[in-house]
Chain A
Amino acid sequence: MGKTIYQEKTRILSKQKLASNFFLLKIASKKIAANSAPGQFVQIRVQDSVVPLLRRPLGVHRIEKNNFEVLFQVVGKATEMLAQKNSGDYLDVIGPLGNGFNLQKRGEIILVAGGMGVAPLVFLAEKLKKSVDPKSKIQKIALIGAKTKTQILCETEFKKSGFEVRVSTDDGSKGAKGYVSDLLKQVLRTTHFALRPNIFACGPRPMLKEIAKLSKEFGIPAQVSLEEHMACGIGACLGCAVETSKGFKRVCKDGPVFQAEEVIW
C-alpha cells in the first residue's frame, strides 16, 4: 500500500542457463533493486508485439547492488522468447509489485521451495541472513523439491545464506523420493524446535495446499506465495483472484504472499 511502482526500460546485464530449461537474467534497475522486498514480483514485457500480448509476472530472485535477477523456466512461447534475449537487450519492466513475505526474525525458519518456487525464496534467504543476528544461531532450513535432480536449483545460494539444505525429487534421483511437502512433514515430525518456527513456501498450488494442512496440523504459521496467470499485475483487472476466508482477494495486489490459513484451498 502506497508503495511506489516503477515502469522502466531496463537493460539485461547477463544471461545464464542454469539447467536445460532454466534461465537466470540479471537486469539493471536502481529503482527496482532498491525498493523490492522478498516475495514481490515484476511484470516483464517480453516483446513489443501483440503475441504474446500480456506481460509475464516473475518473482524477484536476487538483488545485487543496482541490479535484480529473475529466474525462470521455459514453459511457453513468452518464456521461450525471454530465454532468447541477450545481455545488452532492453526489457520493459514494471515493479516491484505485490506484497512480499512478512519477515519473522524470531524463531526457526523453514523455507519450502517447489520447482520454480526457489526463485523468490533465495531473495528471502539472503535478506534473512542480513537481518537475523548471526550469533543467534537460529536454525534455518531450506527444503527444495523438484521433478528430477537436474532441476534442483539454488542449493549453493541457500547454503551461503546459512541454511541447512535438504532435497527431494519426484523420481528419487536426488535426496528423498517424493514431494517436498512429504519432506516438510518428516522435518516437522523429527526436529525439535526450541523456539517457534515459521514456514515460508513457494511452489505449485497442490504443494502449497499440503503445506497449509501441515501448518494447521503442527500449529506452525506458514506464509505461502501463490502463482497465478495475471493480466494487469497491479490490482485493476481482478483477473487473478484467490478465494480467502475474507472473500476474493487479488493475488497480484493483496498477495502474492498470503497466510496459508487464510486461503480457501
Chain B
Amino acid sequence: MKNPDLSVKIGKLKLKNPVMVASGTFGYAEEFSGLVGLHKLGAVVSKTITLKGRPGNTLPRTCETPAGMLNSIGLENPGINKFIKEKLPVLRRAKAPIIVSIASENDPQEFVVLANELEKIRDVAAIELNISCPNVKTQKSLISQDPEATFQVVKAVRKVSTKTLITKLSPNVTDITQIALAAQNAGSDAVSLINTLLGMSIDVKARKPKIASITAGLSGPAIRPIAVRMVWEAFQKIKIPIIGMGGIIDASSALEFFLAGASAVAVGTANFIDPKISNTIIEGIRSYLKENRVSHLEDIVGALKA
C-alpha cells in the first residue's frame, strides 16, 4: 500500500500531518532545535502571548503528580511587540506552520488588539485564542467557562481577523459542548480540546501547597481519559474540526483522539519527557494507517465503533 495521506485542513490552514506541539510546552521551538525535526511537525503553537507581557507567577511553578504534572507559569511572555520582533523570527526557523496563541489579561477586548497585530503578518498561519488558562489570577472566571462570553470574544476577533481561528477550551466546565457550540457559532474555525484541569497538590510535611499559586493546571497522561471523553462529546455536537490534546505520549494515545473525533492532535507535556516524541508519533500514526489499510487519516476521524 502506498503512503497514507496524513494531511488535514483546519479552516484555511492545510497541514502536512495532524501532529502539532501544544502551546506552552514547546517554548518558541528554538529550545528543541537539534533534538527533534521541527520541519516535520504539523504545526508549532507558540507560548501564549499577551498585550503587555507578563513576568509570570511566583515560585514554585511546577510539580510532578501521579502520571501528570501541575503547572502555574502564569503566561510568562514578553508581550506582543517583543514577540513579533524577537520571537517570531526564531519561530520561523522551525520551518513549520506557526500558530500564535494569544490571551487577554483584564479586558477581553485585548484579543481584538492582539489579533489585529497578527493580521498583517503573513507567516502567522493561525491564531489560537487561549480563553482557558487557569493560572491568571486577575481573572475571576475563565472566558471559556461561559458560553456567552466565549461567543462574544470569538465573534469580536472574527470581525477583525481573516486568519484561521482556533479556540482553546477549558475542561473545567459542566458541559463542554455548550462552549464548543458557542465558539463555532461565533465563527471559530476549530476548537482545541482541552486545556489543563484545575488541580492542587499538598506537601503534607510542610502543610503547604506544592505550587505557590495553590491551584494549578494538571496535564499529562492522568488527564487523557477526560480529554478523549470531551473530544467525543464535542464531536457529536459541532461541525468544525477539533484539535485533541491532553496526555498524548505515543501514537496509540494520539489515535484515541482521532477515533473520538479529533481531526488533529497536539502533544504537550510529553515534549518535556522526550523532545522528539512528536516526530515519533507522526511515524506511529503513519504505520497504523498502513497496517489498517486506511488511505486518508480523515477516514478514522470519529471512527469509533460504538
Stretch of B64-72, B122-130, B174-182 at the chain-chain interface = B64-72
Minimal Cβ-Cβ distance residue in A for B58: A243
Q: Please, how many angstroms separate the alpha-carbon atoms of A71 and B28 in the complex?
A: 33
Residues of B within 8 A of A242 (CB): 59
- The digit string for A224-265, where 1 denotes a CB below 8 A from any CB of B, is 000001111111111111110001100001000000000000
Using A50-B249, A54-B64, A241-B61 as known contacts, say yes or no to A236 and B31 having CB atoms under 8 A apart.
Answer: yes
Residues of B within 8 A of A238 (CB): 27, 47, 56, 61, 73, 76
Q: Please, how many angstroms separate the alpha-carbon atoms of A239 and B31 in the complex?
A: 14
Q: Please, how many angstroms separate the alpha-carbon atoms of A238 and B276 in the complex?
A: 19
Partner of B62, one of A45, A52, A229: A229
The residue in A92, A235, A239 that gathers the most chain B C-beta atoms within 10 A of its C-beta is: A239
Judge if B63 is at the interface, Cβ distance under 8 Å: yes
Minimal Cβ-Cβ distance residue in A for B26: A236
Asked whether, in the complex, the Cβ of A234 is within 8 Å of the Cβ of B32, the reply is yes
Partner of B61, one of A50, A233, A239: A239
Chain B contributes a number of interface residues (CB within 8 A of A) equal to: 35
Asked whether, in the complex, the Cβ of A50 is within 8 Å of the Cβ of B221, the reply is yes
Minimal Cβ-Cβ distance residue in A for B276: A7
Partner of B69, one of A231, A240, A253: A231
Q: Please, how many angstroms separate the alpha-carbon atoms of A147 and B67 in the complex?
A: 33
Partner of B272, one of A4, A52, A54: A54
Q: Please, how many angstroms separate the alpha-carbon atoms of A240 and B71 in the complex?
A: 11
Asked whether, in the complex, the Cβ of B34 is within 8 Å of the Cβ of A237, the reply is no
Chain A contributes a number of interface residues (CB within 8 A of B) equal to: 30
Judge if A5 is at the interface, Cβ distance under 8 Å: yes
Asked whether, in the complex, the Cβ of B55 is within 8 Å of the Cβ of A248, the reply is yes
Using A241-B59, A242-B59 as known contacts, say yes or no to A52 and B73 having CB atoms under 8 A apart.
Answer: no
Asked whether, in the complex, the Cβ of B35 is within 8 Å of the Cβ of A234, the reply is yes
Judge if A42 is at the interface, Cβ distance under 8 Å: no
Q: Please, how many angstroms separate the alpha-carbon atoms of A230 and B62 in the complex?
A: 8
Minimal Cβ-Cβ distance residue in A for B73: A238
Q: Please, how many angstroms separate the alpha-carbon atoms of A237 and B21 in the complex?
A: 13
Asked whether, in the complex, the Cβ of B68 is within 8 Å of the Cβ of A53, the reply is yes
Q: Which of B238-265 contact A (CB under 8 A)?
A: 249
Minimal Cβ-Cβ distance residue in B for A232: B272
Using A45-B273, A235-B27 as known contacts, say yes or no to A94 and B35 having CB atoms under 8 A apart.
Answer: yes
Judge if A194 is at the interface, Cβ distance under 8 Å: no
Residues of B within 8 A of A230 (CB): 62
CB distance from B81 to the nearest CB of A (A): 17
Residues of B within 8 A of A51 (CB): 66-67
CB distance from A6 to the nearest CB of B (A): 8
| Nearest 5 Cβ contacts at the A-B interface | A236-B27, A239-B62, A232-B272, A50-B67, A236-B31
**9 residue pairs from A and B, CB less than 8 Å apart:** A4-B34, A5-B35, A45-B274, A53-B69, A231-B272, A234-B31, A236-B25, A236-B26, A236-B32
Interface residues of A (CB under 8 A from B): 4-5, 7, 45, 50-55, 92, 94, 229-243, 247-248, 253
